[in-house]
Copies of this chain bind each other. A is one copy, B any other.
Amino acid sequence: MRKACVALLYLALIGCGGGDKVAPADGEQSQQRFEWKLVTSWPKNFPGLGLAPEHFAEAVERMSNGRLKIKVYGAGQLVPALEVFDAVSQGTAEVGHSGAYYWKGKIPASPFFGAVPFGLNAQEMNAWLHYGGGLELWRELYEPFNLVPFAGGNTGVQMAGWFNREINSIADIKGLKMRIPGLGGEVFTRAGGISVNLPGGELYTSMQTGVIDATEWVGPYNDLAFGFYQVAKYYYYPGWHEPGPALELIVNKQALEALPDDLQAIVETAARAINQDMLDEYTARNNAALVELVEKHGVQVRKLPDDVLAEFQRLSADVIAELAAEDPLTKRIADSMRAFAAQSSAYHGISEEAYYNARGK
């Protein structure tokens, strides 16, 4: 009976001239359904970072009335955390949520779309990406990998990290063993420290047993949950190495292009919405977590001395200049970001920064 009805419906459509079109008319909807896999570099539902892909999937499913369903896989459930890029590039999954700096080994310029030391903060990063040419450069960078990147969230300025030795001058960095990966780690090494890379799950024990003297992680919201206050004496700021870390939402190019235009628009707009949502969440929860760390757990919050920050900034400029020399596209990206940073730094000096300073009086 059901089959006969579908046939009747089909005939009715054909009879009305609806059968010779592939694309639906304006105001009508393709009823084609899609099911996507979304792989991430975070444990399932990891606070902050791991909620963004869930929110993305929910928004897309609701807006598409279920025509595009997205199943979210935590790190290791379908592919390991650091194989998200390859999995989406190859089409094992249609979409991924991760951080661009993880791909530095294969794409030298990728940290510019994650975080570079003494680079843009969250507000500036979003402005550069969406109104400063950044996103176009990112698309060009990922094009050979069959990927279309979108900004996928931002944590805001991170903390400098948890330390078991006091930092009173740049001399105290010498020989300090710290978990600090990426370009920040390179800067730290040049300043005389010993940078190591360890996965998040090993940090607590490594601090507890003295395998490392210090570790950076994210900020109060995530750090509180990890319990670092139990194994570290000091909580240093500001997060010079990751001032506005952007996450990425990467989509397989063929998968995106196979969608009708309305679903493509739904994917783009949902990405934009979760990009802001993550920063909103971190901003709100970091506040509350910091209060708990200080008032309940007696955490000692310290500022990195000016000479240490100045030396890190000097070395960061060197590291970025060397990175920019790797290839022409990396240079174009570095130049674009530096030009934007010079202006935004000047403007924010008399707007956001000046306001923070005025308010603090």
Contact = CB atoms under 8 A, between A and B. Distances in A.
A358 B284 contact: no
A355 B62 CA distance: 38
A159 B13 CA distance: 60
B126 A276 contact: yes
B243 A280 contact: no
Contact of A62 (B16, B265, B361): B265
Given A8-B12, A350-B301, A29 B237 contact: no
Interface stretch (A105-113, A128-136, A192-200, A327-335): A128-136
A360 B345 contact: yes
Contacts of A304: 358
A355 B237 CA distance: 8
A360 B344 CA distance: 12
A262 B354 contact: no
A342 to B, nearest CB: 9
Which of under 10, 10 to 19, 20 to 34, or 35 or more describes the interface residues of A?
35 or more
A152 to B, nearest CB: 13
Interface in A291-332: 291, 301, 303-304, 306, 309-310, 313
Interface in A272-296: 272-273, 275-277, 279-281, 283-288, 290-291
The number of times this chain is found in the oligomer is 2
A325 to B, nearest CB: 23
A36 to B, nearest CB: 14
A352 B283 CA distance: 10
B283 A273 contact: no
- A16, A33, A128 pick with most chain B CB within 10 angstroms: A16
A130 B277 CA distance: 8
A34 to B, nearest CB: 10
Contacts of A286: 347, 351
Contact of A63 (B237, B265, B277, B309): B265
Contacts of A269: 59, 63, 269-270, 273
Nearest to A294: B346
Interface of A: 2, 5-6, 8-9, 11-13, 15-17, 24, 26-31, 33, 59, 62-67, 118, 121-124, 126-132, 156-159, 219-220, 237-240, 243, 260-262, 265-266, 269-270, 272-273, 275-277, 279-281, 283-288, 290-291, 301, 303-304, 306, 309-310, 313, 340, 343-361
